[in-house]
Amino acid sequence: MAKVAFIGLGVMGYPMAGHLKTKGGHDVTVYNRTTAKAEKWASEFGGNFAKTPKEAAEGCDFVFACVGNDDDLRSVTTGADGAFHGLKKGAIFIDNTTASAEVARELYAAAGEKGCGFIDAPVSGGQAGAENGALTVMCGGDQDAFDKAKPFIECFAKFAGLMGESGAGQLTKMVNQICIAGLVQGLSEAIHFAKKADLDVAKVISAIKGGAAQSWQMENRWETMNEGKFDYGFAVDWMRKDLGICLKTANETGARLPVTALVDQFYAEVQAMGGKRWDTSSLIARLENADKS
């Protein structure tokens, strides 16, 4: 058993922290901006809660965070009462936020100055993956820190791998989001086309899902997309945040992402339709909305 802190109890962080307590058996202290949620978590899982990230991190061997964006991450680490002010020497900070590679490298350096480790470790698998302890975790940082952190990460993961040096985890998550953007748009167009051609969508999917067109998105989202139900996962607002990071990084590295840029704009149209909190499969709603115009 180790002393662990978890900062950020959103739809992902809440169950992830829970797995560290129930599956890992660790002494877990949580922090959340809304104290009531931290109190609820502590009551549900039998852990502790702190009033600041610094207080949560004090004396801990491992500190996890899963917050919204780069600015949120800086706030809970190096900001006033941030966790880095409470880290003991030798502690390892594992960041599960989807953020930029730039902030990962910045915080890796800041942690190193304190004699601590830092792993950027964004996750994929959505709310269901977090709740089931079946996330994919893409890590960047030093091998030694990763080896120490891996057993703890595995409390909520089906896969945890070191992709390279600091920032490599975030860059790998960008690759993941680029793939998803194109896949969801392709599936949206396919279902939309099938409907327009008066095909039975269920029969079509049954015929093609075992071949080269198969994807996780098809397997898990075609039916809800066909029914116009979009409350099954990662929100459009968050996808646009992630794609913004991808496009900014692509501009810096010279990578060309024409499809990703186009899909990002399609998501902006979904937001304008009122779909900010719809899940990412809602791209099909944009196509069907055009029919009504």
Please state the rounded mean pLDDT for residues 73-98: 98
Indicate the pLDDT class of residue 232, thresholds 50, 70 and 90. confident
Contact between 270 and 240 (Cβ < 8 Å)? no
DSSP SS3 for 228:
coil
Catalytic residue selected from 3, 148, 150, 173: 173
3-state secondary structure of 164: strand
Backbone angles phi, psi at 86, to 5 degrees: -110, -5
Q: How far apart are CA 160 and CA 140, in angstroms?
A: 11
**pLDDT one-digit tens code per residue, 245-282:** 999 999 999 999 999 999 999 999 999 999 999 999 99
Q: In this predicted structure, what is the pLDDT of residue 233?
A: 79
- Name the helix (H) or strand (E) containing 171: helix 168-196
Mean pLDDT of 211-216: 96
pLDDT tens-digit profile of 139-171? 999 999 999 999 999 999 999 999 999 999 999
Helix or strand (DSSP H, E) at 118: strand 117-120
d(CA 252, CA 190): 33
**Residue 21: active-site member:** no
pLDDT of 150 reads 98
Task: Indicate whether 70 pLDDT > 70.
Answer: yes
One-letter amino acid at 241 equals K
Question: Strand 135-140 vs strand 123-124: parallel, antiparallel, or unpaired?
Answer: antiparallel
Q: Which residue has the tokens 């194109």?
A: 182
Find the helix or strand (DSSP H, E) in which 28 lies. strand 27-31
Residue 293's pLDDT band (boundaries 50, 70, 90)?
low
